[in-house]
Amino acid sequence: MQRYVMDNNKNTNVKDFQIRDELIQSLKNRFSTYGYKQVRTSTFESYDMYSNIIGTVSKDEMIKVIDSSGKVLVLRPDVTIPLNRMTTLNGLHQDNQRVFYVLDVFRQSKEQADQKESTQAGVECFGNQSAETDSEIIMMAIHTLKDLGFRNFKLEVGHAGFFKELIQQTTLTSHQLDALQSLVHSKNSIEIEPFLTQLDIKEDVRKAIQSIPMLYGDPEVVMEQAKSIIQNESMQSILQNLIDIYELLKAYGEENSIVLNLGLINNMNYYSGVIFQGFVDSVGKPVLMGGRYDHLSEQFGQPNPAIGFAFEVDLLIHALQQQGLTNNLGAVADMIIQYDQEVQTEALRSAYLLRDYGYQVLTYSTSSDMINNNLEAKFTARFSSEAYLLYGQGTKQSFSNQEELMSLLQKEEL
């Protein structure tokens, strides 16, 4: 498995910044098509807000500062919690309250001592608790990965409650639970059996826990296998919820993008329902993670069911580069127009028209010393007294006026 180390220097040159900017714009465009509106939260948050919330970021990972009044603040280590607090306390909780964000989060860990800042792009849907909402959120993640050009990817879907229901039938200590979760997460079936055998657990529960790491793969096969370890009505309800979500994803036509993983465990313990993570080729860790967290807002004194997910932008960029999907990103402009002095008027008016339609256009006179043959653009239009020619996408096409140029570009879907 390839180890990926994120680069702290995110914008080393203009092209790198353009790739990042275009990626983020693509994410924002897709989120918007599902009815989500952009919001932001403060970079500095109260330390107490995070430290008092159960199941959030480890206190040791938070980057703390002290303001002039002596109050302890943290650089935002997570976006979900302040967004949940904002929607809950400001009375914004209502059905289909849909928001998205593109924000930096700050954490420190022993594993990545040099990496303290990363960018997350995510969505949160508040106030609607249904399989339809869950499947739509997962579908949005799939839709976005396709927008970016990924073809060989999988979303692992599980449920936070399935494993928790089994654990509630045991008397494991917190230390034992941490060890068991680590074994389940790594699918270490060889060590799980002797680990469980030494504990005081009923045999049927022990066998059920033991089988959890193997409940991975084709959703229909896994769902059938899961029926054999159902211990109570709550687990039956959880399995039915997953079945309902999967049937809706099949209705979208995206069942082949889904893998069921009932051993999926998220580090954020506030998740209560469906959980999922997305993997693409060439990156050995999830590029997105999310799930349902219906009880988090209760810690702010107001029930407010919610579900969301977040992309790790730096991992997405790495994956795009590894798969050669940044070739069409980072161009300095959509169009470079080069013109002879004799046809300057037609060239500049064409540039004006294209810019009026939102295209990025650079113009150069062929007699100017400013022409830079190394500039990157998706298309080049050459205006000369002999002919008007459009170059791009491996083709050369002629046109006679600015209207024809616009028509050619629209056909090329620029």
Q: Do 145 and 280 touch, CB atoms closer than 8 A?
A: yes
**210 and 253 assigned to the same domain:** yes
d(CA 407, CA 381): 13
Amino acid at 195: F
**277 and 343 assigned to the same domain:** no
Q: Do 392 and 379 touch, CB atoms closer than 8 A?
A: yes
Higher pLDDT, 38 or 326: 38
**314 and 185 assigned to the same domain:** yes
Lowest mean pLDDT among 245-259, 274-288, 324-338, 397-411: 324-338
If one counts the domains in the chain, the total is 2
Boundary-marking domain end, from 322, 354, 372:
322
CATH number at residue 289: 3.30.930.10
Tens digit of each residue's pLDDT (9 = 90 or more) over 157-189: 999 988 889 888 898 888 998 899 889 888 888
Bridge-based pairing of strands 97-106 and 72-75 is: unpaired
- For the record, the structure tokens of 320 come out as 């795009």
**187 and 297 assigned to the same domain:** yes
Q: Do 245 and 132 touch, CB atoms closer than 8 A?
A: no
Segments forming the whole domain that contains residue 304: 14-322
**282 and 395 assigned to the same domain:** no
Higher pLDDT, 88 or 43: 43
d(CA 263, CA 95): 31
The stretches of 98-147 forming alpha helices (DSSP H) are: 131-147
Q: Do 243 and 252 touch, CB atoms closer than 8 A?
A: no
**277 and 256 assigned to the same domain:** yes
Lowest mean pLDDT among 48-57, 256-265, 298-307, 313-322: 48-57
Q: Do 56 and 82 touch, CB atoms closer than 8 A?
A: no
**60 and 161 assigned to the same domain:** yes
**159 and 49 assigned to the same domain:** yes
The predicted model scores a pTM of: 0.81
Bridge-based pairing of strands 258-261 and 274-280 is: unpaired
Which residues are CB-neighbours of 95 under 8 A, at least 6 positions away?
127, 128
Residue 128 lies in a domain: yes
**116 and 211 assigned to the same domain:** yes
**26 and 156 assigned to the same domain:** yes
